Amino acid sequence: MKTKLNHPQLKIVALSAMLLGTALSVPAYAGTESANMAVTANIGMNCTISTTDIAFGAYDAIVTNASTDLDAAGSVTTTCTVGSAGVVIIGLGANASEASTDTVPVRRMAGPAEGDYLLYQVYSDEGRSAIWTNDTETGEAYNATGSAQVMPVYGRVEAGQTTVAEGSYSDTLLVTVNY
């Protein structure tokens, strides 16, 4: 019996044979070579810093604060690269006394008229005995963990400042993290 192939069937058979031949031919490799690829990264020391303000509120020099200090607190938050260590310092303030130094700051809030000042101080301890300085030798040390570290800042307006004029008083402190 004779098989009769028409032209389209012949093309399909030829194409199938060609595809089958290509699929069965696998390249043969004679050998292999390898190389190492180095992967590196550098982590630099870095810190961020933020603050929470100290708001003393009302100072009553004649009655309440004639013999009682006015206390308030704020905070400094630092987040630094693990492995870094350093010091947080607090500046003298925009209205510091001429006698003020980095190690012995005399901080003042300015009042409503020129020459109106309300003395205050910031401390690193709740008992308000360790003045927070602007000196890297005596500032507050930290060891970074890579997470946010909150450092309380304790403020005090001393009692008995009876010569201050009525009005609003303010100051600005520059807080710096050295790492």
pLDDT above 90 covers what percent of the chain?
82
| Average pLDDT of the residues in 98-104 | 97
pLDDT category of residue 11 using cuts at 50, 70 and 90: low
Residue among 69, 130, 75, 65 at smallest CA distance from 104? 130
Would the pLDDT of 26 be above 90?
A: no
Average pLDDT value for the chain = 91
Residues 47, 82, 128, 63, CA torsion sign:
positive
Would the pLDDT of 93 be above 90?
A: yes
What's the pLDDT at 27? 66
pLDDT digits (tens, 9 = 90+) for 37-81: 999 999 999 999 999 999 999 999 999 999 999 999 999 999 999
What's the pLDDT at 118? 98
What's the pLDDT at 22? 55
Which ranges of the chain would DSSP assign to H, the alpha helix?
7-24
> Cα separation of 41 and 162, whole Å?
61
Residue among 136, 27, 29, 40 at smallest CA distance from 88? 136
What's the pLDDT at 28? 74
What's the pLDDT at 35? 97
What's the pLDDT at 104? 97
> Cα separation of 141 and 149, whole Å?
12
pLDDT digits (tens, 9 = 90+) for 126-165: 999 999 999 999 999 999 999 999 999 999 999 999 999 9
> Cα separation of 27 and 47, whole Å?
57
Residue among 151, 179, 178, 170 at smallest CA distance from 89? 178
The model's pTM is 0.79
Q: Count CA within 13 A, CB hemisphere, residue 101.
A: 3
Using alpha carbons, list the distances in angstroms from residue 89 to 23, 39, 40, 125. 74, 39, 35, 14
Would the pLDDT of 9 be above 90?
A: no
What's the pLDDT at 90? 98
> Cα separation of 31 and 174, whole Å?
67
All domains of the chain in start order, with CATH: 47-166 (2.60.40)
| Average pLDDT of the residues in 90-94 | 98
Q: What single DSSP character describes residue 130?
A: S
